[in-house]
Amino acid sequence: MTIDVHGHVTSPELFKRFPMPPSLADIDGMIEQKLAVGIDMTIVGSPVGAGTMVPVPGLDNYAQPADQLDAFHEWVAETVRSHRDNLRGYVYVNPFAEDGSLAGAAKLLGREEFVGLIVNTSVRGEYLGSPRAEEFFAMAEETGSPVLLHPPAEPVGAAAMNGHLGLVEHVARPCDITCGVASILFAGWLDKFPRLKLIAANAGGALSLLREKLDLAQQRARGGPPPGAGGPPRGGPPAGGPPAEAVAPMSGQLSRIYVDTATPSRLALSAAATVFGPERLLFGTDSPPLTAPLHTGLDLVEELAVSAEQRELIRSGTARELFGLETS
């Protein structure tokens, strides 16, 4: 059995309003294509709710009317019910929402069609390390819901790409995951809410290549390198905090994050298995809308230098436990 934790769908109603890849509307075609290569179930949702990842002048994905978002989630629920053996759903929410939608998202998670949350790694240029995200993380821990951390339609730095949509999609968005998850770690949310289940999309962006850099950033935040190590003059540790040598390395926090395998890079996936650990990898394709051959993602997992038992965890075992699919 193989479970894809990273797929997207969009309702026919939204296709009337926004330009989007046609694959997002072909639910039966998606299921058929995945079954043909051995992908039995996909957890689907939208990283923009009732919006679109395609740039639309004047559209603000974070200013969605509540009734439109409710209608979208009802459509997702109906779609899952119609394909009970092959689909489960994510609930979309703006993690900085102050309009009661966090409570609404928690209520939706009580329905069997929904098994997780999907949120953006930044919102209007603000990462989730912001204190404004505390209520969201508290809700995610209380519900026990896995959270897919997905880049937004307009990631940090998108404007600097001068309208090059390819660079926005394939460079700026993975960078948003990298910086967004790092901000979560440095904000201490995993310590404050230790039962959080966070999944970084796209193999965690570049985080697996920045493990040592996270520790250097931590040293700098606590006063810089020790005397004689070079760099700027050392300052003292934060007032009231433990001495620098008593603080666990930030890189150790990476083993508390799950990542999906939705990357075309063998190097990135191998690094993710090394840094996060095979037991923290979840098979994902980002398809739809990505159109890369589905067998490519499966082949990359097969090529990983892991045991047969670990490979089975990546393909389905960890996802079954994390999303409660054993008894669902």
**Residue 224 confidence class, pLDDT cut points 50, 70, 90:** low
d(CA 72, CA 247): 45
Structural contact between residues 205 and 177, judged by C-beta atoms closer than 8 angstroms? yes
Residue corresponding to tokens 């069609």: 113
Look at the alpha carbons of 167, 173, 176, 181 in this order and tell me if their dihedral is positive or negative: negative
pLDDT value, residue 54:
86
Return the H-helix or E-strand segment holding 142: helix 134-143
22-69 pLDDT per residue, tens = 888 899 999 999 999 999 999 999 999 998 888 888 888 899 889 999
pLDDT value, residue 95:
97
pLDDT value, residue 246:
53
Mean pLDDT of the chain: 90
pTM: 0.91
Structural contact between residues 261 and 303, judged by C-beta atoms closer than 8 angstroms? no
d(CA 213, CA 251): 8
- DSSP of 163-223, one letter per residue? T-HHHIIIIIHHHHHHHHHHHHHHHTHHHHSTT-EEEESGGGTTGGG-HHHHHHHHHHHTT
d(CA 316, CA 314): 6
Structural contact between residues 88 and 43, judged by C-beta atoms closer than 8 angstroms? yes
226-245 pLDDT per residue, tens = 434 443 333 334 445 455 55
290-327 pLDDT per residue, tens = 877 899 999 999 999 999 999 999 999 999 999 999 75
Q: Name all domains of the chain by residue range, CATH numbers in brackets.
A: 3-322 (3.20.20.140)
Structural contact between residues 188 and 248, judged by C-beta atoms closer than 8 angstroms? no
Instruction: Give the three-class secondary structure for 90.
Output: strand
pLDDT value, residue 245:
53
Distances (CA, A) of 96 to 93, 100, 202, 214: 9, 11, 23, 25
55-106 pLDDT per residue, tens = 888 888 899 889 999 999 999 999 999 999 999 999 999 999 988 899 999 9
